[in-house]
Amino acid sequence: MKRRKLWLGLSTAILAAPTPGLPAAIAAEGGLVVAQAHGEHGAKAKAPPAEAKGATASGEGGEGGEGASGAALPPELRLSRGIGLVRGHLLVGNELIEAGRWADALPHFLHPSEEVYGTIRGDLKAFDVPPFDVALKALAQTVKAKNKEAYARARATLDERLAAADRGLKAKEANWDFFTLETALEVLKSAASEYEEALKGDRIVNVVEYQDSRGFVLEAERMIGSVGENLARKDADAAAAVKAALADLKTAWPATLPPKTAVKDVSAVLGDISRIELQLGRLR
């Protein structure tokens, strides 16, 4: 509960004063904008990359940086956020494979096991979710091998594992629609911090981060879409507002490859996300 209040207060702050100086304040308050933790490609990163082995749920260096590693989240939300981040990576990775860009796709298949899995490893058992780190790594191998048929098969296996994770969560979650929305919001927060890492001024200097954030936004959209009708039944106006904000947000990622100049700056992205968050209370 504490977490949510804090974030809501924060969104209000964003709406009230969308000034350029804000991100620093956000960083101080909500821990949203934080140091990049990608060991591989985040040049600024000082935080160690997530250990493939042995990282605990509180492990540092999760996707989107330390503060957003999910350590502070309740386990079910941390787990479903992790699953969402994995799916986000797969979404954008798949776009690149469809475009024949195997080498560009590879980081998006390595990140889930290198950076996300460590943040949820400790939560899997509690939700009766069988481990799927091998399925992730095996999928990355098919991308290394640039083998489309093997990729499709390994992908199907992993999708089945992720679906099992959904089932494990669903079995313990009374309000699935709201929980999904909550998760999508966490995934969007990660998108925002990846997006910030990708930007320097109005230029996108880190393509991989840009693509990460695109994948997360697409996944959040998918999640919200999956419960959209139910949410609309709860509060049609609020659901419509979420949809509209998401549509605005998405314009920052017009394509898999980044635009020459950024469509939105970070505070505009955060503003869109907070518009979604503002509706949360009405959609519970």
Per-residue exposure over 181-218, b if at least 16 CB sit within 10 Å of its own CB, e if not: bbbbbbbbbbbbbbbbbbbeeeebebebbbbbbbbbbb
Tell me how far apart the alpha carbons of residues 74 and 187 are, in angstroms, rounded to a whole number: 15
Tell me which of 37, 96, 120, 154 binds other proteins, using CB under 8 A: 154
Q: Which residue, 13 or 150, is less far from other proteins as judged by CB?
A: 150
Indicate whether 15 belongs to the interface with other proteins (CB under 8 A): no
Q: Which residue, 25 or 150, is less far from other proteins as judged by CB?
A: 150
Indicate whether 178 belongs to the interface with other proteins (CB under 8 A): no
Q: Which residue, 128 or 237, is less far from other proteins as judged by CB?
A: 128
Size of the site for other proteins (CB under 8 A): 28
Indicate whether 149 belongs to the interface with other proteins (CB under 8 A): yes
Indicate whether 170 belongs to the interface with other proteins (CB under 8 A): no
- Could you tell me if 30 and 10 are in contact, meaning their C-beta atoms sit under 8 angstroms apart? yes
Tell me how far apart the alpha carbons of residues 273 and 192 are, in angstroms, rounded to a whole number: 8
- Could you tell me if 183 and 170 are in contact, meaning their C-beta atoms sit under 8 angstroms apart? no
Cα angle 246, 276, 256 (rounded to 5 degrees) comes to 30
Indicate whether 254 belongs to the interface with other proteins (CB under 8 A): no
Tell me how far apart the alpha carbons of residues 34 and 24 are, in angstroms, rounded to a whole number: 9
Tell me how far apart the alpha carbons of residues 211 and 258 are, in angstroms, rounded to a whole number: 8
- Whole-number CA gyration radius for the chain: 18
Tell me how far apart the alpha carbons of residues 39 and 47 are, in angstroms, rounded to a whole number: 8
Binding mask 64-83 for other proteins (x = CB under 8 A): ----------xxx-------
Indicate whether 137 belongs to the interface with other proteins (CB under 8 A): yes
Q: Which residue, 101 or 153, is less far from other proteins as judged by CB?
A: 153
Indicate whether 230 belongs to the interface with other proteins (CB under 8 A): no
Binding mask 105-134 for other proteins (x = CB under 8 A): ------------------x-xxx--x---x
Indicate whether 172 belongs to the interface with other proteins (CB under 8 A): yes
| CB neighbour list of residue 3: distance below 8 Å, 6 or more residues apart | 72, 73
Indicate whether 163 belongs to the interface with other proteins (CB under 8 A): no
Tell me which of 27, 101, 157, 257 binds other proteins, using CB under 8 A: 157
- Could you tell me if 188 and 215 are in contact, meaning their C-beta atoms sit under 8 angstroms apart? no
CB of 181 to other proteins, least distance (A): 16
Positions touching other proteins (CB under 8 A) are 1, 52-53, 74-76, 123, 125-127, 130, 134, 137-138, 141-142, 144-145, 147, 149-151, 153-154, 156-157, 172, 174
